[in-house]
């Protein structure tokens, strides 16, 4: 076993011990070994095919998992479409953080279709997101970790809770910390490690343009934004311009999963305010974590694996709770009565 793989294995073991009293103990990496032994390979096959034509898909899928877990836990609720005459489903796809931004739903659909063909009614949509997230990171050059499995799918979606719980690109560090604490994650290492997922993917002008011309109503740009990057972004995203224009979250290696994100923050090259706040907030306890991850990629990879496992075990449905959806967009009782919803996937961030 390589030193890095050994460290990640130790990190996974640490996460299991750390969360022993929570729902973590109800999950197991070999959950599908008997009922659907090829589940991970089936998901990976669909992912690799999508990746060949859309290099952004890996970042998009991990974002879906993140946005799912922050709203009523990791139950696949972000995947649900609105349903006629069913007020229990208020699609999270239309929340401020997801509308015309979250993407990759059609790839999840393809994964689910392939799994239903091989082993119908076995693999949950929530587990698909967890597995695909780990595979997406590894496929992009990042770490691999053992994914605990056994989540079941929820039967509700909550747009207002998504607006309330999901971190936004415009928040100060204090607000970001509050969002992480509210769902049961820690507000330092988990926050910094999971923010490191912005080491790949894209973002729309609308999510950072407030930094370019009139930051916090000052009439001036955000002073923490590198002057060279500022000039480039002002050309890309002029005042009154198209807010859907995309640019890279990571200036140096936009499609690779590495620790360059943290070096960018040290150079004031964080694209989103919520990213730069981790390093530029005076006296913040996140600054030494950024510095450590910038100088030690192994430390980042190890912490990222632990934090992903912690996040993937928020407020789980297990056992006989919830259901195993046959279609990730619909609860099983509503397979014939859905309302078409935005796929959010054509003009999007990440």
73 is in an annotated binding site: yes
> CA geometry: angle at 190 spanning 21 and 7, to 5°?
80
343 is in an annotated binding site: no
Residue spans of alpha helices (H) in 144-202: 159-165, 173-183, 189-195
CB atoms within 10 A of CB 254: 17
86 is in an annotated binding site: no
What are the tokens at 150?
Answer: 């056994």
156 is in an annotated binding site: no
CB 317 within 8 A of CB 152: yes
CA quadruple 256, 262, 263, 264: dihedral positive or negative? positive
2 is in an annotated binding site: no
184 is in an annotated binding site: no
243 is in an annotated binding site: no
First to last CA, the chain: 33
What are the tokens at 49?
Answer: 């095919």
258 is in an annotated binding site: yes
> Which runs of E-coded beta strand occur in the chain?
89-90, 157-158, 202-204, 246-248
167 is in an annotated binding site: yes
CB 124 within 8 A of CB 60: no
253 is in an annotated binding site: yes
Identified catalytic residue from 65, 67, 112, 329? 67
Tell me the residue length of the chain: 350
What are the tokens at 81?
Answer: 């479409």
250 is in an annotated binding site: yes
306 is in an annotated binding site: no
- Please give the Cα distance from 97 to 143 (Å, whole number): 27
- Please give the Cα distance from 313 to 315 (Å, whole number): 6
Does 67 qualify as catalytic in the annotation? Answer: yes
Indicate which residues carry an active-site annotation: 67
Report the binding-site residues for substrate: 167
- Binding-site positions for Ca(2+) read 68, 71, 73, 75, 77, 92, 199, 250, 253, 258
Annotated binding site: 68, 71, 73, 75, 77, 92, 167, 198-199, 250, 253, 258
């Amino acid at each position: 076993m390589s030193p890095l793989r050994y460290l990640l294995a130790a990190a996974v073991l640490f996460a299991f011990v750390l969360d022993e009293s929570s729902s973590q103990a109800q999950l197991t990496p070999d959950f599908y070994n008997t009922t659907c032994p090829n589940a991970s390979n089936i998901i990976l096959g669909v992912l690799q095919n999508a990746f060949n034509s859309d290099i952004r898909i890996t970042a998009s899928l991990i974002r879906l998992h993140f946005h799912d877990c922050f709203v009523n836990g990791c139950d696949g609720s972000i995947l649900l479409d609105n349903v006629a005459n069913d007020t229990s489903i208020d699609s999270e796809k239309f929340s401020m953080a997801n509308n015309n931004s979250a993407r990759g739903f059609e790839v999840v659909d393809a994964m689910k279709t392939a799994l239903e063909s091989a082993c119908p009614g076995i693999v949950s949509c929530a587990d698909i997101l967890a597995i695909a997230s780990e595979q997406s990171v590894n496929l992009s050059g990042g770490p691999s970790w053992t994914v605990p499995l056994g989540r079941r799918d929820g039967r509700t979606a909550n747009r207002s809770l998504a607006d309330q719980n999901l971190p936004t690109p415009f928040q100060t560090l204090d607000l970001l910390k509050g969002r992480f604490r509210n769902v049961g994650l820690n507000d330092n290492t988990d926050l910094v490690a999971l923010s490191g997922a912005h080491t790949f993917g894209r973002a729309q002008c609308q999510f950072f343009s407030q930094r370019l011309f009139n930051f916090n109503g000052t009439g001036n740009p955000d002073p923490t934004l590198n002057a060279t990057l500022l000039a480039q972004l002002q050309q890309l995203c002029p005042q009154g311009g198209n807010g859907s224009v995309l640019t890279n979250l990571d200036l140096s290696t936009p499609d690779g999963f590495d620790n360059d994100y943290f070096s960018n923050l040290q150079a004031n090259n964080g694209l989103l305010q919520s990213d730069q706040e981790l390093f530029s907030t005076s006296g913040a306890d996140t600054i030494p974590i950024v510095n450590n991850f910038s100088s030690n990629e192994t430390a980042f990879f190890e912490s990222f694996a632990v934090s992903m496992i912690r996040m993937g075990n928020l407020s789980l449905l297990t056992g006989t709770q919830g259901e195993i959806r046959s279609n990730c967009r619909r609860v099983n009782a509503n397979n014939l009565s859905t309302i078409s919803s935005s796929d959010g996937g054509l003009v999007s961030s990440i």
